[in-house]
Structure 1
Amino acid sequence: MNSQRRDNPVLITSAAPSYEDQLSARRRRYALMMSLRIPCVVLAVLFAEVWWLALALILLSVPLPWMAVLIANDRPPRKAETPQRLRPSRQALDAGRKR
């Protein structure tokens, strides 16, 4: 057994998340942003007597669909991390040569 274990695992691939994972995350973001529009419109109707508040809520709800589509269609950024490669220890190399 190797008694000198690292705390962080060795990254063996630099593959991006699967398309299905990306799509489900983008769908969740879209649904969340679009669900924020409904309360804005409902609150604008409830606060119709306070015209400036109702107007602010309506103006807030207007760009939400546009922003939701832009954010949902944007793919996640690529990770800038460099993979950790497993480097054989000097001890392992020396043990292999003695055999």
Structure 2
Amino acid sequence: MKRQAYQPILITDAPPSQDDQLRRRQVRYVVMMGVRALCVIVGAILVGADAPLLWLWLPLCVVGMILLPWLAVLLANDRPPKERHRIGARLRQPSEPAPPRSLGPVAPDRPHRVIDVEP
């Protein structure tokens, strides 16, 4: 049986911790519900002040009051996609290691291919 070479796990490839994911979803939920509360307050002020263009602003506030709680709950219960569903994971096969990157010069034993535009 062939032994695979040891490949260290890069910290940049590690998924965010469960606590970080939960905190991010909580913050997003609170912000969205704050915007909803702002829509309720602005809608009440517009109706009380009999503002111009009330026919335009009031439906926008109502849409914010109805749509934002629904979206906030959906996004709060969502989680990041699994690694196998990400685009980068689809481009290379899981058994195939990532190609090594080299920033150094080309190896001297291989000839360089030169493209010249002048005849």
TM-score over 0.5 for the pair? yes
Secondary structure, in 3 states, of the residue corresponding to 1:17?
coil
How far is the alpha carbon of 1:85 from its aligned partner? Answer: 7.9
C-alpha distance after superposition, 1:30-70 (max 9, x if no partner) = 11111100111111111112441223212221111110010
Superposed counterparts of 1:1-99, under 5 Å: 12=10, 14-48=13-47, 49-50=50-51, 51-52=54-55, 53-79=57-83, 80=86, 81=88
CA RMSD in angstroms, aligned pairs only: 2.8
**Unpaired stretches in structure 1, ≥5 consecutive residues:** 1-9, 88-99
TM-score (structure 1 length as normaliser): 0.63
Q: Distance in 2 between matches of 1:46 and 1:75?
A: 37
Number of aligned residues: 78
- Give structure 1 regions of 4+ aligned residues with deviation exceeding 3 angstroms: 78-87
CA change 1:21–1:84 in 2 (3 A) is: farther
Q: Rg bigger for which structure?
A: 2
Letter in 1 for 2:58: A
Identity of aligned residues (%): 37
Q: Distance in 2 between matches of 1:84 and 1:35?
A: 44
How far is the alpha carbon of 1:76 from its aligned partner? Answer: 1.2
Is the contact between residue 30 and residue 68 of structure 1 (CA under 8 Å) also seen in structure 2?
yes
Q: Distance in 2 between matches of 1:85 and 1:22?
A: 30
TM-score (structure 2 length as normaliser): 0.53
How far is the alpha carbon of 1:16 from its aligned partner? Answer: 1.5
Q: Show the counterpart of 2:109.
A: none
Letter in 1 for 2:66: V
Q: Distance in 2 between matches of 1:11 and 1:85?
A: 15
